[in-house]
């Protein structure tokens, strides 16, 4: 488990809850979805680590060690490993099963909406990033720099997540949460420009 405050136990619990809901809607195997959701971040390298893109592969290996220790049925190990490896945005692995698609959607949903805004601010604080650029707060005439400015991460990644959703339930929830985030930025713009 990581010390990253945006990937803490409450993040895991929210991902598990979303994954369970999506699994019911998609008639997926709970024997794969639930352990994969619980263990998807059992190894999570910091955002600025040079091997960050390998976190999900390491987590897949770590998860199987944990599951083997508790005698979880090994018939599900390959599917669980794939679901954990494919959940990561930075790993860029396409889910091959509905169970992997669900875990990926559930993790990405937690980056959106009110909780997504809060988590984005938490992560930005670990980089000592400012909330926004004074010269161009909403990246209208400059490149995104989410290491320097929190708001840039909305444009660099978060607003792209809605179009990566694999399930109908994920798409609906992502649309709702993305709209909330756009409303937040509109209000932020109003307050900045007063």
∠ Cα 22 26 27 (to 5°) = 115
Is 34 a member of any domain?
yes
Q: Of 132, 125, 126, give the one whose Cα is nearest residue 149.
A: 132
Same domain, yes or no: 68 and 140: no
Task: Say whether pLDDT at 2 is over 80.
Answer: no
Q: Is residue 21 located within the same domain as residue 73?
A: yes
In a domain, 175, yes or no: yes
Structure-model confidence comparison of residues 165 and 194, the more confident one: 165
19 with 61, same domain? yes
* Number of domains observed in the structure of the chain: 2
Q: Are residues 156 and 118 in the same domain?
A: yes
* Residue 25 sits in the same domain as residue 50: yes
Q: Are residues 7 and 75 in the same domain?
A: yes
Q: How far apart are CA 60 and CA 57, in angstroms?
A: 5
pLDDT value at 170 more than 80: yes
Region 22-38: what's the mean pLDDT? 98
Out of 34, 69, 99, pick the residue that ends a domain.
99
Q: Which residues pair with 149 in a beta bridge?
A: 130
Whether 58 is covered by a domain: the verdict is yes
Residue owning tokens 């161009």:
136
Q: What CATH number corresponds to the domain at position 15? A: 1.10.3210.50
Per the domain annotation, does 105 fall within a domain?
no
**Cα separation of 133 and 146, whole Å?**
10
Q: Is the pLDDT of residue 35 over 60?
A: yes
What is the chain's length?
194
> How large is the C-alpha radius of gyration of the chain?
17
Q: What is the mean pLDDT of residues 44-48?
A: 79
Q: How confident is the model at residue 3 (pLDDT cuts 50, 70, 90)?
A: low
CB 61 within 8 A of CB 47: no
Is a pLDDT exceeding 90 seen at residue 32?
yes
Same domain, 168 and 188: yes
CA neighbor of 53 nearest in space, from 85, 9, 5:
85
84-141 tens-digit pLDDT: 999 998 888 999 999 999 999 999 999 999 999 999 999 999 889 999 999 999 989 9
Nearest Cα residue to 78 out of 47, 99, 94, 48:
99
Is residue 36, in this structure, part of any structural domain at all? yes
Predicted structure pTM score: 0.94
pLDDT of residue 44: 84
Number of Cβ within a 10 Å radius of residue 131: 14
What local confidence, expressed as pLDDT, does residue 1 receive?
46
pLDDT at 159 over 90: yes
Domain span holding position 118:
111-194
What is the predicted pLDDT for the residue at 134? 94
The verdict on residue 104 lying in a domain is no
Domain boundary among 99, 129, 161: 99
Give Cα separations from 44 to 31, 68, 88, 120, 132 (angstroms). Answer: 23, 20, 10, 16, 27
């Amino acid at each position: 488990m990581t010390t990253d405050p945006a990937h803490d136990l409450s993040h895991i619990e929210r991902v598990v809850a979303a994954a369970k809901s999506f699994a019911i809607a998609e008639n997926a195997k709970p024997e794969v979805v639930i352990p994969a959701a619980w263990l998807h971040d059992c190894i999570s390298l910091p955002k600025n680590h040079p091997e960050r893109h390998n976190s999900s592969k390491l987590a897949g290996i770590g998860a199987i060690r944990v599951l083997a220790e508790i005698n979880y049925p090994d018939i599900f190990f390959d599917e669980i490993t794939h679901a954990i490896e494919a959940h990561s945005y930075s790993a860029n692995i396409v889910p091959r099963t509905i169970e992997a698609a669900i875990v990926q959607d559930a993790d990405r949903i937690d980056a959106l909406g009110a909780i997504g805004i809060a988590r984005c601010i938490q992560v930005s604080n670990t980089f000592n990033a400012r909330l926004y650029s004074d010269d161009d707060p909403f990246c209208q005439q400059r490149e995104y720099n989410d290491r320097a400015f929190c708001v840039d991460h909305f444009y660099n990644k978060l607003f792209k997540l809605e179009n990566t959703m694999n399930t109908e339930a994920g798409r609906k929830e992502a649309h709702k949460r993305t709209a909330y985030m756009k409303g937040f930025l509109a209000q932020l713009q109003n307050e900045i420009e007063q």
